[in-house]
């Protein structure tokens, strides 16, 4: 029973508490980089690393940082981590670095990272903060990859994934015949449409879960 409850809780976090479709955070970068699975995975992993590491560091120093300057301190920590990640991407995955462009730098002001630092890491122990960052980072990757999968499939008719280190094709499958793809989904209009549908589905799911909880509470 406990194992089932754990799985349900994780699924709920992935969907209902998804930072993109449930909390509406990090939408700008999501709309911009979700044109392909490679971009989505690259950005998702970068955010995950920064999110976990910033949560750990901020939690570790939470008792020695004065309340008056804690926001600037958080931003400096996040900016330093983003710079390190950016340099690593530039050195080892230049193609991915070029594809993500300025959106790597914008991780610094990603509301997900600063929001978790302020709401959770600044008030909880290191272990719990690291887990919170991991859960939120995985939820972000899930949402970003889902959007990229839909847009790439409908926009190009194919699902393709490249090796970020060598840029060699790992796999490429043409699912929709050439000529029947919907190129609209490779544009920002397609990004907004995809986001709107997924956000609406998330809202429906959250409402159903809320009704089930209310019924159980009434019993």
Residues 179 and 151: beta-carbon distance below 8 Å: no
Q: Which residues contact 141 (CB under 8 A, 6 or more apart)?
A: 40, 41, 44, 45, 47, 48
CA dist., res. 142 & res. 138, Å (int)? 6
| Closest alpha carbon to 110 in 142, 81, 147 | 81
More confident residue, 187 or 212: 187
> Between 37-60 and 70-92, two packed helices, what is the crossing angle to 10 degrees?
140
Tell me which DSSP letter residue 65 carries: S
Residues 73 and 65: beta-carbon distance below 8 Å: yes
The token pair at 96 is 């991915």
More confident residue, 45 or 218: 45
Q: What's the pLDDT tens digit per position in 111-154? A: 889 888 888 998 999 999 999 999 999 999 999 999 999 999 99
End-to-end, the C-alpha distance of the chain in Å comes to 20
Element (H or E) spanning 169, and its range?
A: strand 169-174
> Between 126-156 and 2-15, two packed helices, what is the crossing angle to 10 degrees?
60
Q: What's the pLDDT tens digit per position in 40-84? A: 999 999 999 999 999 999 999 999 988 888 899 999 999 999 999
The token pair at 55 is 């949560």
Report CA 206 to chain centroid distance, whole Å.
19
């Amino acid at each position: 029973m406990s194992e089932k409850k754990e799985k349900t809780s994780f699924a709920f976090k992935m969907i209902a508490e998804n930072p993109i479709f449930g909390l509406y955070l990090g939408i700008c970068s999501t709309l911009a980089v979700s044109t392909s699975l490679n971009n989505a995975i690259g950005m998702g992993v970068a955010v995950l690393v920064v999110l976990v590491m910033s949560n750990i560091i901020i939690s570790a120093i939470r008792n020695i940082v004065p309340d008056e300057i804690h926001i600037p301190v958080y931003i400096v920590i996040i900016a330093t981590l983003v710079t390190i990640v950016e340099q690593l991407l530039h050195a080892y995955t230049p193609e991915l670095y070029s594809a993500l462009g300025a959106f790597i730098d914008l991780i610094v002001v990603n509301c997900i990272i600063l929001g978790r630092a302020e709401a959770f890491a600044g008030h909880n122990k290191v272990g719990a903060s690291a887990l919170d960052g991991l859960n939120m980072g995985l939820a972000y990757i899930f949402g970003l990859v889902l959007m990229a999968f839909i847009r790439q499939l409908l926009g190009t008719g194919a699902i393709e994934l490249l090796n970020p280190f060598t840029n060699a094709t790992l796999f490429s499958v043409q699912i929709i015949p050439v000529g029947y793809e919907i190129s609209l989904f490779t544009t920002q209009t397609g990004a907004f449409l995809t986001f709107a549908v997924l956000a609406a589905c998330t809202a429906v799911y959250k409402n159903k879960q809320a009704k089930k909880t209310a019924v159980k509470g009434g019993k």
